[in-house]
Amino acid sequence: MDEMTNIETLQAGLLAEIDAADTPEAVEALRVRALGKSGEITALLKTLGAMTPEQRSAEGPKIHGCREAVTAALTARKAQLETAVLNQKLAAEAVDMSLPADMPPSGSVHPVSQVMDELAEIFADMGFAVATGPEIEDDWHNFTALNIPETHPARAMHDTFYFPDADAEGRAMLLRTHTSPVQIRTMVGGNPPIRIIAPGRVYRSDSDATHTPMFHQIEGLVIDKGITLGHLKWTLETFLKAFFERDDIVLRLRPSYFPFTEPSAEVDVGYKQEKGRRVIGGSGDDEGHGWMEVLGSGMVHPKVIEAAGLDPDEWQGFAFGTGVDRLAMLKYGMDDLRAFFDGDLRWLKHYGFSALDIPTLSGGISA
């Protein structure tokens, strides 16, 4: 009888305190006090061992009932308080998304990304799509199909990074040394006419102030019927005028050699020496001017068209390629290529572009 009152009093007292607890921590303290190692209910449970079987079958259910009631109350109160804490936090930390931001977004667009966006915009306006290819290439796409057979000295010239193992077809695997394999992939996979640019990373084992083992190129390819050198020259002139944002760009096509184009031409632009810097524009033959090489180009070699599975009697075209990093340096006045890939925040802040200034022909190509 006495024991009964004790259990009831204990339970009523604990339930009242649990109900009054106002933090999850207070609930936890009550749990320890009631059900912990030396808790009040734990102590009651321990008394069962010393009881006679009759006492135990009378008291046992009461004590267990008490424990269950208190455990349930603790769990419920804890959940209730945790929800309240969460709601309070959500209310306190709520952000009104309709308010104007008090800081512009930080971080900047890398000059290489900026120039690639500019190029995509310029060439999209001339009807070119953007194509991509893998950076891990096989030697067929990177060399053989581009009319660079195994014994060709150009293979050695490219300072190629090779992988130790060949692919399933026995082709040597490498990091592409130029974006020209995208020409092959586009011709093999697509239906002419083709007008694409292919910007991306390329790799050569070479490193100094103007060379890094990884750098960026952009490839251009046009395949159609009746394509001539005139189309090539017009395309490059239109591109360079839009890119450097001036009309006085003068081009000089200089006979050159690439295994995958015939004839081949290196493209120079005229520049003027101004305060120790080269400013693009004007004829390179004028007083105080010079010529600077900016692109490799030519008419796609019939062997390349054939290797890609097209009939060279039906389809002709031109291709060109240039370094994106170099274009960025020329346009935005950086002089050390290595700084492009150092990730120095001060450099990025200085030379980076706002993410919100997207280059458009109507709104201005440079940000």
Q: How far apart are CA 228 and CA 353, in angstroms?
A: 37
Q: Which residue is nearest to ligand PHE (CB)?
A: 321
Decide whether 239 or 351 has the Cβ nearer to ligand PHE.
239
Is residue 199 a contact residue for ligand PHE (CB under 6 A)? no
- Joined tokens for residue 40: 């009040």
Going by their DSSP bridges, the two strands 129-130 and 194-203 should be labelled as: parallel
Cβ density class 87-101: b for 16+ within 10 Å, e for less: eeeeeeeeeeeeeee
- Per-residue mark of binding to ligand PHE, 261-280 (x: CB under 6 A): x-------------------
Decide whether 7 or 265 has the Cβ nearer to ligand PHE.
265
Number of residues that bind ligand PHE (CB under 6 A): 11
Is residue 186 a contact residue for ligand PHE (CB under 6 A)? no
Residues 204-243 that bind ligand PHE (CB under 6 A): 219
Residues 23-82 that bind ligand PHE (CB under 6 A): none
- Per-residue mark of binding to ligand PHE, 286-305 (x: CB under 6 A): ----------xxx-------
Q: Write out the DSSP string of 70-100.
A: HHHHHHHHHHHHHHHHHHHHHHHT---TTSP
Q: How far apart are CA 71 and CA 79, in angstroms?
A: 12
CB of residue 356 vs ligand PHE: minimum separation in angstroms? 33
Is residue 258 a contact residue for ligand PHE (CB under 6 A)? yes
Q: How far apart are CA 270 and CA 87, in angstroms?
A: 67
Determine the interface stretch with ligand PHE among 44-52, 168-176, 238-246, 313-321 (rule: CB under 6 A). Answer: 313-321
Cite the beta strand spans of the chain per DSSP E: 129-130, 136-138, 173-175, 194-203, 214-224, 251-258, 261-274, 277-280, 289-300, 316-323
Residues 6 or more apart whose CB falls under 8 angstroms from that of 251 comprise 233, 236, 237, 240, 267, 268, 269
Decide whether 178 or 289 has the Cβ nearer to ligand PHE.
178
Is residue 180 a contact residue for ligand PHE (CB under 6 A)? yes
Is residue 320 a contact residue for ligand PHE (CB under 6 A)? yes
Beta bridge mates, 211: 208
Decide whether 155 or 178 has the Cβ nearer to ligand PHE.
178
Q: Which residues bind ligand PHE (CB under 6 A)?
A: 178, 180, 219, 258, 261, 296-298, 319-321
